[in-house]
Amino acid sequence: MEHIPAPAIDFISLAPALILSVFGMLVLLMDLFAGKNKNLLVFASLVGLVLAGVSAFAPKALPVVSFGGSYVVDHLSVFFTLIFVFSSALTILLSIEYNPRNGIRAGEYYALILFCTVGMILLASATDLIMIFLGIEVVSICLYVLAGIKRGDVKSNEAALKYFLLGAFATGFLVYGMTLLYGATGTTKLAGIAEVIHSGQTNSDTLLLLGTVLLIIGFGFKVASVPFHMWAPDVYEGAPSPVTAFMAVGPKAAALVAFYRVFATAIPEIGTTWDTLLMVVAVATMVIGNFGAIVQTNIKRLLAYSSISHVGYLLIAIIARNSLGGSAIAYYMMAYAFMIFGTFGIVILLGEKNSENLEIKNYAGLGVKQPAIALCMTVFMLSLGGMPPFAGFIAKFYIFGAAIKEGYVVLVVIAVLNSVVSLYYYLKIVVLMYMKDSERELELSMGPITLAVVAIAVFGTIEMGLFPDPILQLTQ
């Protein structure tokens, strides 16, 4: 009888994912005994997230490579772990008051958010195609369910079904791309693929190229880039608002970091063959995202299109395929997390029991009736539009810097022009808040916790805009 040697596992570098898995199962079990009161579940989930965030700093020397080079904990993955933990915590905080009002009482909600976070953390550290696939699936499956967790609501059902069908289809493309890449190089490890390409020993260059194209389709769907973006507006609109904010930040960041790792570490050497294609996708994503957003009348759909356009900017960092691009994505997503959670916090604040007040015209008169909230909204809108001195400006600045360093000047010019276009619809909301009046009473329907999230977001948006250096250093 042959014994299988136990593999050496560095549990410390795995700690965030392990802690969250345990807490996810714990929350599921606690739900059995908690009864109607979900506060205990919320508390346990938040404790798990905080512990995971702290344990991300536990590895003494970075990077830690484990599992034969299929799992790497480096500065990038630690920072992304922080983004994930942070965005999941904010999602849970936003849900505390939102869920009971909107009839979401399932305790599994919190467990699914934790499992989704596990998937995201694994995705940020995965340097093996199989791990990347599993990470994406864990994240996606949790999201399908979270999108449809408002079971009495037709739009939520539609969102879940649409997301599931299209997502499963896109996963097919992703897996097919991965198999072709494996077929061409004979390995699933990203570093191994790069090595084989470098030595020129691929089985077939065309296979490699086809695999790359299919990977662009698969990842393109997961990050909602044009022309694979059609699901985003419907899903963002139908999903419960905290989940929408969650989807726009965490899972998107996770898919982007995997996208970046595959394209910047495994196949950068054949970059000249795929960067044209990715450039077309990036430009189309920016243009269609921004012009699509202009005509929207529903705030969640508008934010969906705006989030599509932001992916366009982020793709530029992947095209640049240098280490600067990686930290630019990390910084951007952190800034984006603050902006989006703040905006959705306000969207949730203005909702009522029977109507969520999602039309943009509902925001008329906010400047007079709720001056503080209107001011916060203005900060978020200006930051999303990339105006200084807010976080959005610095974030775009780093992305464009990474691209210019590699000589993609035209791409950056197009992106800057697009940010100008985007200002139109962001400022439209600001104008509506201050210049128009409404007869309707605008009352804040939520309590202090949602307000606190908005306050944290405002602080973060301004702080990251004024003092970008400490955060940027964390990403490098």
Binding site for another protein (CB under 8 A): 2, 4-5, 7, 9, 21, 24-25, 28, 67-68, 70-71, 105-106, 108, 111-112, 115-116, 118-119, 122, 128, 130-131, 134-135, 137-138, 141-142, 144-145, 148-149, 151-152, 160, 183-184, 186, 203-204, 206-207, 210
Please say whether the beta carbons of 146 and 116 come within 8 A: yes
Within 10 Å of residue 295's Cβ, how many Cβ atoms? 10
Rounded least distance, CB 144 to another protein, Å: 7
Q: Can you read off the two tokens belonging to residue 247?
A: 């989807």
Closer residue to another protein, CB minimum distance, 226 or 319: 226
Backbone angles phi, psi at 90, to 5 degrees: -65, -40
For the chain, report the end-to-end CA distance as a whole number of angstroms.
48
CB-nearer residue toward another protein: 7 or 448: 7
Give the strand pairing for 71-73 and 64-66: antiparallel
CB of 310 to another protein, least distance (A): 27
Check the CA dihedral 449-38-85-147 and report its sign.
Answer: negative
Whose CA is closest to 242, among 335, 308, 150, 118?
Answer: 150
Which helix (H) or strand (E) segment holds residue 73: the answer is strand 71-73
- Judged by beta carbon, residue 146 or residue 253, the one nearer another protein is 146
* Residue whose CB is less far from another protein, 148 or 325: 148
Q: Shortest gap between Cβ of 308 and another protein (angstroms)?
A: 22
Q: Based on CB atoms, which residue is closest to another protein, 27 or 399?
A: 27
Kindly state the smallest distance separating residue 192's Cβ from another protein, in Å: 12
Helices 371-384 and 323-349 pack at an angle, to 10 degrees, of 150
| Cα distance between residue 460 and residue 223, in whole Å | 24
Minimum Å gap between C-beta 207 and another protein is: 6
Q: State in angstroms the smallest separation of the CB of 39 from another protein.
A: 17
Query: What is the C-alpha separation between 68 and 110, in angstroms, rounded?
Result: 33
- Pick between residue 92 and residue 149 the one whose CB is nearest to another protein: 149
Contact (CB, 8 A) for 89 and 46? yes
Least spacing, CB of residue 387 vs another protein, in Å: 39
Would you say 244 and 236 are in contact if contact means Cβ atoms under 8 Å apart? yes
Cis-peptide, bond into residue 448, ω within 30° of zero: no
State which residue, 67 or 380, has the beta carbon closest to another protein. 67
